[in-house]
Structure formats: C-alpha cells, structure tokens
Amino acid sequence: MHLCSYLLPRYSTNNPLDNKARPMANASQAPDLKGIHHEMHEIAEQIKIMKEINARLAILEVEDPSDKVVIMAMMEGLCPGLLFNSLSKSITETWSALQDKVDKYIAVEKLAEAKRGRRGKDDHRRQEPDTRRINYTGKLIKRSEREVRRRINK
C-alpha cells in the first residue's frame, strides 16, 4: 500500500486545476462576516430607495403630460417623409390637431397605395422616385467615366 500511494500524483495547492481549496496565508485574510452583513444591508437599503424613486417616476409618467411634449416625442420617432416635413414646417399646438393631420396623411398614403395596386407592378413607364434617383446617378457616373476615357484617349 505504501508503494501505491507513493506512485500516485500529489495534488499541489499552486495548481488551479486541483479541486482542493488553497490554504490562506494568515488569519487576517479570512472574510469579516460582520462587514459582509453590513454591506448586504446597505445594498438592500439602496435597492429599496431606488425602487421608491422608480415608483415616483412611474407616477409622473402616468400623469397628463402637456401636448407639446407628446408632439415633440412623436416627431422624434417619425421617419423622414411627407408628414415629418409638414410637421417640421408648422408644429401643431394641440394633440387633436396633430391627430387630424396624421389621419389626412394616412388617407393620402392609402390612396396612393391603392392607385399603385391598380396600375400593377409591371408598369414599366412609371418608376418609384428612389429607383429614378439611382438610375439618374448611375447615368451620371457612366457619363463621367466616358468623359474621363475620352480625355485619356485624346
């Protein structure tokens, strides 16, 4: 038996792969349980205070905000387009006026979509504005390349 235990590998306290806990160098490194308990109590108090503050903020959010704040928040979320441009030029003062304006633009977009649907997707005579711009800039790029080639060949 003595020979078998002699041949087995010994665990080292310096090897992090060993499952044994490393001994502490001195007793002053032992965790102070009172200090840990005090820190946990302070953290619990801070969490309680933060929850109270969040509850107060939630109450403030629920109360009736002014129309101007709501309108500005809505404009921040809008994508650039006809409605955004219209609202940028003349900002409405009331929520109901804004709703009326939005309803008008929604109706215009629905009519335009229905008109495009009646024409069909295969209407090659009419292109969407974005594709016209892309083709237009593409033609400009081709023209400038031709001009460069002509100048080089001269």
Predicted local confidence at residue 45, as pLDDT? 85
Predicted local confidence at residue 43, as pLDDT? 85
Within 10 angstroms of residue 129's Cβ, the number of other Cβ atoms is: 7
Predicted local confidence at residue 21, as pLDDT? 53
Task: Name the token pair of 116.
Answer: 């495009």
Predicted local confidence at residue 56, as pLDDT? 76
Within 10 angstroms of residue 70's Cβ, the number of other Cβ atoms is: 13
Long-range contacts of 111-117 (CB under 8 A, 24+ apart): none
Radius of gyration of the chain (CA): 36
Predicted local confidence at residue 20, as pLDDT? 53
- Mark 75-110 as b/e (b = at least 16 C-beta within 10 Å): eeeeeeeebeeebeeeebeeeeebeeebeeeeeeee
Predicted local confidence at residue 6, as pLDDT? 54
- Please report, in tens digits, the pLDDT of each residue of the chain (154 residues total): 455 555 555 555 555 555 555 555 555 655 667 777 778 888 888 888 888 888 777 766 656 667 777 777 777 777 777 777 787 787 777 778 888 888 888 888 888 888 887 776 555 555 555 554 455 555 555 556 666 666 676 6
34, 38, 39, 40 alpha-carbon torsion, rounded to 10°: 100
Entry pTM: 0.34
